A and B are shown apart, each in its own frame.
Chain A
């Protein structure tokens, strides 16, 4: 397949979220950029970043992200006239063959770049779409922009379905990529390696975001400890929850089984997933993909996950891992014990998982993305990404509903 991709392309990638804070979309954009560069394409990434944050040479900063309220939560977005001017400059200077936007329906850089640009445009939707009133109000302007997208990519079947429901049309599913070998070849860490008497269960994610499911796991801890007293729960991630809260919740004895690792590096994450017996994903909702599940499967950890649609699909309907009823601590405890007790079950799931993850490896994902680029550029008969004249003042002035302010 890779042989089909001919000439090197000039590719512009737009990431809506700041690299100051780690996140799935940011990592995806970074990895995709590096995978494309490794294949000889020239890539420029536009992303928000603070002045102090060191950024790789292929990245251009669109300015600082400011915290604003969006969809009921405080999010860090980069916007305003100075940002808009930077986006426009980056677009015109880049002379891109393809512009690849991420999250064009989130009010951030992707939406701005789409507004300014014209030509071969690819857009990836990562998360479920939100029903924001601000968005609904500005939708007439946004919709015109969205029509300029030549190819839409959804990162999962679930993301595709919400996209189709909300915006009509269709999208091709290309999953987030994982460097599978990076996890397969990671060196286990003795501190986190389980023994038959003291098996280890890992949790990764924001601790104080209840959607990530830490409370569900903590509620399951006592029942697991009663059956297997030596079990250790390794909790990695940032957040205000700590040993004190766990002691208050579980009492001193049970709380000793829960160890907080804090925020960990990429290398530590790979080592952790490579070491533990079970990776537990107790998320209660809002997941459209579940990249950590793929990473855990690559590392060879047995995965125990909530039966959310996205997780069910990543785990190949529960054959590459074990599912439990979402948000049910009793079922989670029972499932964890079943997986810990049954070496054969773990082995079988692990074997199957090592096949499943190949589909998510960057070598494969990059091929698929490049095929999309190829089709989009072929369709535009050699035209590069340029500036959309209607985004200039005079053009978009016609959208002004001046009748209301006439008098």
Chain B
């Protein structure tokens, strides 16, 4: 080809490049959108399972199947978890530490007295910490396999233990799924094109939900087909 490139040829090339760029941007944008929706969906699932586990814990605590001390402490931890639910799993951790400390210093006020100022009360609570505490309290209350077997043998006991195991197992699954979705989203949002063009818009950068949900060894693993009964 001996002819020099004319305006037409250059124009064609520029158009092709532009189309390619727009296409690439569109692909990234829709991918990011899909991931954001995936994150909010997985967060919703995690939330549901955490609430279910806390609800079953309240039932267990009020069932009279545990000794009084375990009843009080499991009930207390479960109520704290239910209180913290609905505040969003990540939002509370982003409060500036000074503010958290100031609010925490007001902690002497009994929760009932501050019920009106719901924000002030729950801002003290770090969701993942409260859920971890519920895990630890339940592990201590159910640390002995013989005891768990005895609870199962009581009327209504087996149903409760199954319900707790099923909800707990689903918390473990939901947390892993959610954190995987968060990791994928953060990876995509770290890409140069996404950052330069601010494709994420105003969507907050999702945080992984770190919680101690280690399994109580004495609590039998639920079968794959075990279903959480309605609570």
**Are A and B subunits of one complex?**
yes
Q: Give the residues in chain B near A111, CB-CB below 8 Å.
A: 68-69, 72
List the interface of chain B (C-beta within 8 A of A).
58-59, 61-65, 67-80, 105, 107-108, 110-112, 124, 130, 133, 136-137, 140-144, 146-147, 150, 154-157, 159-160
Q: List 13 A-B contacts (CB under 8 A).
A: A69-B77, A77-B69, A84-B67, A107-B69, A107-B72, A111-B72, A134-B76, A135-B75, A137-B71, A142-B68, A145-B68, A401-B64, A405-B63
**Option from A112, A131, A401 in Cβ contact (under 8 Å) with B110:** A131
- CB atoms of B72 and A134 under 8 A apart: yes
**Option from B61, B65, B105, B124 in Cβ contact (under 8 Å) with A134:** B61
- CB atoms of A71 and B76 under 8 A apart: yes
Question: For the complex, is A169 an interface residue (Cβ under 8 Å from B)?
Answer: no
Stretch in A27-35, A153-161, A231-239, A392-400 with 4+ CB within 8 Å of B: A392-400
- CB atoms of B136 and A68 under 8 A apart: yes
Q: Give the residues in chain B near A108, CB-CB below 8 Å.
A: 69
Q: Complex Cα distance A380/B75, Å? A: 35
Separation in Å of the B162 CB from the closest CB of chain A? 10
List the interface of chain A (C-beta within 8 A of B).
66-74, 77, 79-82, 84-85, 107-108, 111-112, 115, 130-135, 137-138, 140-142, 145, 210-211, 285-286, 393, 396-397, 399-402, 404-406
Query: Considering only CB atoms, which chain A residue lies closest to B74 in the complex?
Result: A134
Separation in Å of the B64 CB from the closest CB of chain A? 4
Q: Complex Cα distance A381/B151, Å? A: 37
**Option from B108, B140, B147 in Cβ contact (under 8 Å) with A211:** B108
Separation in Å of the A166 CB from the closest CB of chain B? 13
Q: Give the residues in chain B near A85, CB-CB below 8 Å.
A: 144
Separation in Å of the A75 CB from the closest CB of chain B? 9
- CB atoms of A112 and B68 under 8 A apart: yes
Tell me what chain B mostly uses at the interface: helix, strand, loop, or mixed: helix
Separation in Å of the B82 CB from the closest CB of chain A? 10
Q: Give the residues in chain B near A71, CB-CB below 8 Å.
A: 76, 110
- CB atoms of A80 and B155 under 8 A apart: no
Closest 5 pairs (CB-CB, A-B): A134-B76, A405-B156, A134-B75, A81-B147, A399-B64
Q: Complex Cα distance A402/B70, Å? A: 19
**Option from A79, A211, A286, A404 in Cβ contact (under 8 Å) with B73:** A79
- CB atoms of A210 and B105 under 8 A apart: yes
Q: Complex Cα distance A112/B142, Å? A: 16
Query: Considering only CB atoms, which chain B residue lies closest to A85 in the complex?
Result: B144
Q: A137-B61, A145-B68, A405-B160 are in contact. Are A77 and B73 (CB under 8 A)?
A: yes
- CB atoms of A400 and B69 under 8 A apart: no
Q: A80-B140, A141-B64, A405-B156 are in contact. Are A72 and B72 (CB under 8 A)?
A: no
- CB atoms of A406 and B71 under 8 A apart: no
Q: Give the residues in chain B near A135, CB-CB below 8 Å.
A: 72, 75-76
- CB atoms of A138 and B71 under 8 A apart: yes
Q: Give the residues in chain A near B77, CB-CB below 8 Å.
A: 68-69, 134
A66, A396, A400 — which one has the most chain B CB atoms within 10 A of its CB? A400
Q: Complex Cα distance A84/B69, Å? A: 9
Q: Complex Cα distance A82/B174, Å? A: 31
Separation in Å of the A63 CB from the closest CB of chain B? 10
- CB atoms of B150 and A112 under 8 A apart: no
Separation in Å of the B105 CB from the closest CB of chain A? 5
Q: Complex Cα distance A272/B4, Å? A: 98
- CB atoms of B73 and A397 under 8 A apart: no
- CB atoms of A400 and B156 under 8 A apart: yes
